[in-house]
Structure 1
Amino acid sequence: MNRRDFLVQSGAAAAASVSLGADAIAQSAATNTGAKAPGRKPNIILYLSDQFRWDFVGANGANSSTKTPNLDAMAKRGKNFTHAVTNQPVCAPARSVLMTSRYATETGVWRNGPALDHTLPTLAGELRKAGYTSNLIGKWHLAPSAEAAGGGPGYVKPEYRGGFLDLWEGANALEHTSHPFYGSLFDGDGKEIKFQDQYRVDFLTDRTERFLRQKHEKPFFLFVSQLEPHQQNDENRMVGPKGSAARFINAHVPPDLRALPGDWHQQLPDYYGACESIDASVGRIKKVLQETGQADNTIFVFISDHGCHFMTRNQEYKRSTHNSSVRIPLIIDGPGFEGAQQIPELVGLINVAPTLLEAVGVPVPSSWKGRSALPLLKDTAAREAWPNKELVQISESMTARTIKTQDWTYCVADISGAKKAASPTYLEWQLYDQRNDPHELVNLAGRKEYLEVAKQLRGELVELLKYAGEGSPEIQPATLYP
């Protein structure tokens, strides 16, 4: 059964960057390494910024301190999916969903550490079969983390690259092979590529520019996978470019953070600086595309794997059901995505790969669980029929499951404390009203006036769990309130 049929049966399917300037545009004819040829498919750049909150994009209008002119320009040129969510708010599982359009419990990567199931069709592999080159620069995180299994934090063997078999300049866990101002990547043969006295974002952008200025005989798929604004693990802190923390010392504090204890007081200034650097990187890449004549034939996707709640919801930065952890930026411009438009429907990470394949005319594997969001751009009937329901699987911090809708967040958890792929029994744990409490500060689970809402959401969550291959676990109603 495909996803559309499932959602229909369940009742879900009812009825130019401001930083470029005129000089850069004037240079666009100087070098042409990939201009559109008759019948040539568009290039695709998938730019992922790790742990980038959706509300730190200025175009989303929720933060008075963000400085993201290049991302804002993308939103003015293309499609801004304002209510995109991750289906697993932790690095490796989220990336597995993005690359395979399957749930993390199906990819083999339900937590950080295991390798991606190599039998699954991937976005890189499908594009490569269709005549693209598939290329990666930056963080991968889908090879085995244990050296005993043939993995580790650095070099990634070809069999663990998920179809990225052309240019490879990456590290499985970039946070363990580098620091913000020095470190290493590894090429396809395992040769170390070092950088020193340069901000990591800028180094990866340099490598991206080097790739884009080469001559490309085929259309390319390029995955630019930045670590920032994710924390540097061994320092347990965010690190922005030099001087950025001082510039953002009194920056806006998002309402979901300011009401709760956490470490946002210390981390926000550097986080702002790192986000600003990511935006500048996007601007640089856009400038190179203009200069090389590739801008008009390149789909550019800006996305994150999950958000960041700064230890306000648990003892780290994600792995929770809340918008601060689950809601992500998703902006796409280029061929097929021209014209400013905000897309308010709920779109999951699982929908991104089929959207891109459809956009370039490549068949979507029948085994994929997501569906293309392209109809949302111009089809009123498709928008009305869009399910606006996404399953979020929580792991590592606990074993939990969430259904996100436009109106509600409903979460159930294994209260035994077990940290495993799934559970046969859950207890209702959280219920948030998105209309009246968008910052999710008041948990309504168990309150008698919301019992019918909870019952409805419980049934819808069970259907999504069946679709994800988890069977029909028992969900016990909350009993906190009489």
Structure 2
Amino acid sequence: MSRNQVILIMTDTQRKDMLSCYNKELNMNTPFLDKIANEGIRYERAYTAQPVCGPARSAIFTGTFPHTNGSFGNSMALSQTTKTIGQRLTKAGVHSAYVGKWHLDGGDYFGEGKCPNGWDKEYWFDMRNYLDLMSEEDRFISRKTKTSFEKEVAPSFTYAHQCSDRAIDFIEKHKDEDYFLVISYDEPHQPFLAPSNYFELFKNRNHNNYGNINVDLKDHPEHIRLWAETVNNNDYSAYELMGCNAYVDKEIGRVVDAIDSFANDACIIYTSDHGSALGAHGLWDKGPAMYEEITNIPFLVKWNKKITPAQVSENPVSHIDIVPTVMDIFDLELPKCLEGKSMLPELINSNIKTNEYVFTEFSRYEVDHDGFGGFQPIRSVTDGRYKLSINLLTTDELYDTKEDPCEMHNLIESESHISIRNKLHDTVLKFMDETRDPFRGYYWERRPWRIDAKPAHWEYTGMTRQRYTEEDEVHQLDYSTGLPITEYVRKK
């Protein structure tokens, strides 16, 4: 019997070279993720939509950018008009289940524990649900990194193991159905809870041996220098992250084994929400920077009988492309409001390229916290080689990631790069217009190096860009006439 099954596996704060398939020299002990790569496509130029947990997930599960869906900082819920992939698939009759971290309900880090519309309530298991199963004492120790070193942590105590259990149960029980299943691990995000033997592998090992460690930051944007000043205050070392990273691979392996047994023809998509600086550019963790260590995420796709194994692609792709790709796999019409593209043609035929450009943004880290730089508006674009980042409140950056993979030489003022710089800049401005970016305005165009920018003008482009409404929504009306809109983009 022919079945259509798609399984999305994702982790949290797992940078690309934390998988051995991306950097064999580091030997990160990730055999199960490496297996997916060897049996499918490994993307080298895949990017998060925003390098913070909630906003990154908002793009993954809605197909719209954080500035569109309203979740442009942690603890900011999706807007009322935004639909998730679960809602779209369920409406189309595709069984959709979500196991793991959600981070999109506007609650605290753990969420509210309530299953949103569109997902199977039986399998919903947010981090609040995990904590609700514990005593107060166990809750407390589950949030402390030292727990993994002061007592032996049983796998069954960890969030990763309990998520895997539920995912395996779903895969076994629904093997004869069409479905979309998400397994969203919190690991290897701190507090790095895992059995102690996983940490022993990485003690006394220097993970990051690249040329952008301990660098002089005098030519970096001001907000990067301020961020770097806080790095000495970090309270964990890389080996704790690496140990938990190896552990979550083991848990993913349990799910992969179940897929091999009960869903061998399923399309498996694997990614992480964002990366981690780990000392690169003097920084730690993630936040308002577009550097490769933070934004360039692992992205693997395996699909037996559909995808040629052991492929490596340099094509630029984005999390924003996941929703249209999944909908295309289920042969569903793509809503006009989606801001990504289906990668399905590219997955089937490696000669096809989905994107010429992909975009990454930043607005703020979290609405709850005054720290983390506060409001840091950034819009960035890459063509797979050159990357332009408009740091609105500080100074801008242009890097050639082919010749300068460590992004040490800012080319923003380079006369020999004016043409590519301005082309990327025009592309960002067009992107902001087309996606109805609420933060767009003349100030993004009038950068110190853009001498041909138009003069500042209160009306800027003079255009009106109303939100496209779908068939099942209340249709928007034209302000000037009170009648249904015939042109969503028009002169004001």
TM class by smaller structure? 0.7 to 0.9
- Residue in 2 aligned with 1:223? 182
Match for residue 346 of structure 2 among 357, 376, 394:
376
Conserved? CA contact 1:175–1:227, under 8 Å = no
Ranges in structure 1 where 5+ consecutive residues have no aligned partner: 1-36, 147-151, 184-194, 233-237, 416-426
- Residue in 1 aligned with 2:401? 434
Larger proportion of strand? 1
- Residue in 2 aligned with 1:155? 112
Taking structure 2 as the reference length, the TM-score comes to 0.74
- Residue in 2 aligned with 1:326? 295
Listed one character per residue, the Cα deviations across residues 423-469 of structure 1 (whole Å, up to 9, x for unaligned) are xxxx6521111121111122233344434432222212111111221
Change (3 A) 1:407 1:217: closer
The one-letter code matched in structure 2 to 1:300 is I
SS at match of 2:332: coil
SS at match of 1:96: helix
Shift of 1:141: 0.5
Conserved? CA contact 1:100–1:122, under 8 Å = yes
SS at match of 1:412: strand
How many positions carry a matched residue from both structures? 404
Match for residue 105 of structure 2 among 108, 129, 143:
143
Change (3 A) 1:472 1:387: farther
Does 2:204 match 1:250? yes
Conserved? CA contact 1:181–1:197, under 8 Å = no
Conserved? CA contact 2:113–2:126, under 8 Å = yes
Shift of 1:163: 2.0
SS at match of 1:342: strand
- Residue in 2 aligned with 1:17? none
Change (3 A) 1:63 1:164: farther
| Whole-angstrom CA distance in 1 between matches of 2:56 and 2:28 | 25
Conserved? CA contact 1:114–1:145, under 8 Å = yes
SS at match of 1:328: coil
Shift of 1:197: 6.5
Shift of 1:328: 0.7
The one-letter code matched in structure 1 to 2:35 is A
Conserved? CA contact 1:350–1:370, under 8 Å = yes
Conserved? CA contact 2:158–2:193, under 8 Å = no
Q: How does 1:57-456 map to 2 (within 5 A)?
A: 57-61=19-23, 63-145=25-107, 153-158=110-115, 161=116, 163-171=118-126, 182=142, 198-215=157-174, 218-232=177-191, 238-254=192-208, 255=210, 258-260=213-215, 262=231, 266-291=236-261, 293-296=262-265, 298-310=266-278, 312-313=280-281, 316-319=284-287, 320-335=289-304, 336-379=306-349, 382-383=352-353, 386-396=354-364, 397=373, 398-415=376-393, 428-456=395-423
Listed one character per residue, the Cα deviations across residues 320-339 of structure 1 (whole Å, up to 9, x for unaligned) are 21111101111111253353
Ranges in structure 2 where 5+ consecutive residues have no aligned partner: 133-137, 144-153, 216-227, 365-372, 450-492
| Whole-angstrom CA distance in 1 between matches of 2:347 and 2:258 | 27
Conserved? CA contact 1:83–1:327, under 8 Å = yes
Shift of 1:104: 0.6
Moved more, 167-176 or 353-362: 167-176
| Whole-angstrom CA distance in 2 between matches of 1:154 and 1:377 | 34
Change (3 A) 1:391 1:403: same
Conserved? CA contact 1:181–1:196, under 8 Å = no
Conserved? CA contact 1:43–1:221, under 8 Å = yes
Conserved? CA contact 2:280–2:293, under 8 Å = no
Moved more, 256-265 or 455-464: 256-265
Shift of 1:101: 0.9
Change (3 A) 1:390 1:173: farther
Conserved? CA contact 1:65–1:252, under 8 Å = no
The one-letter code matched in structure 2 to 1:382 is I
| Whole-angstrom CA distance in 1 between matches of 2:417 and 2:128 | 43
| Whole-angstrom CA distance in 2 between matches of 1:380 and 1:200 | 37
Conserved? CA contact 2:188–2:241, under 8 Å = yes
The one-letter code matched in structure 2 to 1:322 is Y
SS at match of 1:440: coil
Taking structure 1 as the reference length, the TM-score comes to 0.76
Percent pairwise identity? 22
Moved more, 78-87 or 359-368: 359-368
The one-letter code matched in structure 1 to 2:125 is G
Match for residue 55 of structure 1 among 12, 17, 34:
17
The one-letter code matched in structure 1 to 2:112 is Y
Change (3 A) 1:301 1:445: same
The one-letter code matched in structure 1 to 2:398 is L
Shift of 1:52: 0.7
Change (3 A) 1:450 1:390: same
Change (3 A) 1:347 1:154: closer
Change (3 A) 1:342 1:196: closer
SS at match of 1:399: strand
